[in-house]
C-alpha cells in the first residue's frame, strides 16, 4: 500500500523510519527538514507502518480527536490540509499550541470530543476523522462526530481496550465497540496494533 503524499521512508538516526516534513515537536530525530515519526507513540503511524488501508493520500481535511500534546497530529498536519485538533486537557493542550505555532493549517480546539456542538461552528466538513481518545465510550465519541464527516470520508479509530473496561477481555471490549459503531458506520477493517501498541484495535470505517 502506498504512503500518503508527504510521508516518506527515510534513514534517520541510522534506521529506516516513516517521516514527515515539518518543525520537530517531541525531540524526534531529523534529517534536514524531515522528522522521524515515532510509531510507538502514535497509533496512526503504526497503522501506516502496518499497511492498514487508511485511504489517506495527503492533502485531506482532518478532524483529529484526542490530540494530546500534538505528537501525532503534528505529523498529520505536515501532510494533510486543514487539520482541526480537539483536546480537552489543558496541560497537553499547551504543548499542542506550540506544535501548531509553525503550522498554519493546524487548529487546536480546547474542547470535549463528547460535545461536538461546542466546536461545530468552527469545523468544516472533513475527509477524515482520526480518533485516539483514551476515554470510556469511544464508539459514542465516533458516532457523535460523524456529523463532520463527508459521505465518502473515513473514520480512522484507535480503540484502547483498557479505557472501556480496565479488567475486561480486550476482544470482548472490541466486539462491543464494533457493535455500537455499526449504528452509524460501516467497518472496513479492524486489526490489533501489536507490536507497537498492546490492546489497541485500529478501525477503518465509513459513514453509513
Chain positions contacting ligand SAM, by CB under 6 A: 42, 66-68, 71-72, 86-89, 92, 112-114, 132-135
> Cell numbers at residue 30, please?
531529523
Report the alpha-carbon distance of residue 100 to residue 128 in Å, rounded.
19
3-state secondary structure of 186: strand
In terms of CB distance, is 67 or 161 closer to ligand SAM?
Answer: 67
In terms of CB distance, is 186 or 198 closer to ligand SAM?
Answer: 198
In terms of CB distance, is 115 or 208 closer to ligand SAM?
Answer: 115
In terms of CB distance, is 141 or 149 closer to ligand SAM?
Answer: 141
What is the total residue count of the chain? 208
Shortest Cβ distance from residue 36 to ligand SAM (Å)?
14
Beta strands 126-131 and 62-65, pairing class: parallel
Q: CA 81, 46, 42, 27 torsion: positive or negative?
A: negative
Q: Is the peptide bond before 195 cis (omega within 30 degrees of 0)?
A: yes
In terms of CB distance, is 133 or 143 closer to ligand SAM?
Answer: 133
Shortest Cβ distance from residue 59 to ligand SAM (Å)?
21
Shortest Cβ distance from residue 13 to ligand SAM (Å)?
20
> Cell numbers at residue 135, please?
476515554
In terms of CB distance, is 31 or 112 closer to ligand SAM?
Answer: 112
Are 158 and 200 contacting, i.e. CB atoms less than 8 angstroms apart? yes
3-state secondary structure of 105: coil
Amino acid at each position: 500500500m502506498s504512503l500518503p503524499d508527504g510521508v516518506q521512508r527515510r534513514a534517520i538516526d541510522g534506521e529506516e523510519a516513516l517521516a514527515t516534513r515539518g518543525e520537530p515537536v517531541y525531540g524526534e530525530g531529523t534529517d534536514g527538514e524531515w522528522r522521524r515519526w515515532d510509531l510507538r507513540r502514535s497509533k496512526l503511524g503504526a497503522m501506516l507502518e502496518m499497511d492498514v488501508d487508511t485511504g489517506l493520500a495527503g492533502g485531506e481535511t482532518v478532524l483529529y480527536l484526542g490530540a494530546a500534546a500534538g505528537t501525532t497530529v503534528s505529523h498529520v498536519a505536515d501532510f494533510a490540509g486543514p487539520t482541526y485538533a480537539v483536546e480537552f486537557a489543558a496541560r497537553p493542550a499547551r504543548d499542542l499550541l506550540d506544535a501548531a505555532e509553525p503550522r498554519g493549517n493546524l487548529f487546536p480546539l480546547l474542547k470535549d470530543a463528547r460535545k461536538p456542538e461546542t466546536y461545530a461552528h468552527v469545523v468544516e466538513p472533513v475527509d477524515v476523522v482520526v480518533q485516539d481518545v483514551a476515554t470510556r465510550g469511544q464508539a459514542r465519541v465516533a458516532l457523535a462526530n460523524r456529523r463532520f464527516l463527508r459521505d465518502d470520508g473515513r473514520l480512522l479509530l484507535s480503540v484502547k481496550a483498557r479505557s472501556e473496561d480496565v479488567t475486561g477481555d480486550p476482544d470482548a471490549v472490541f466486539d462491543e465497540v464494533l457493535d455500537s459503531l455499526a449504528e452509524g458506520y460501516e467497518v472496513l477493517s479492524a486489526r490489533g496494533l501489536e507490536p507497537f501498541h498492546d490492546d489497541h484495535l485500529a478501525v477503518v470505517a465509513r459513514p453509513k
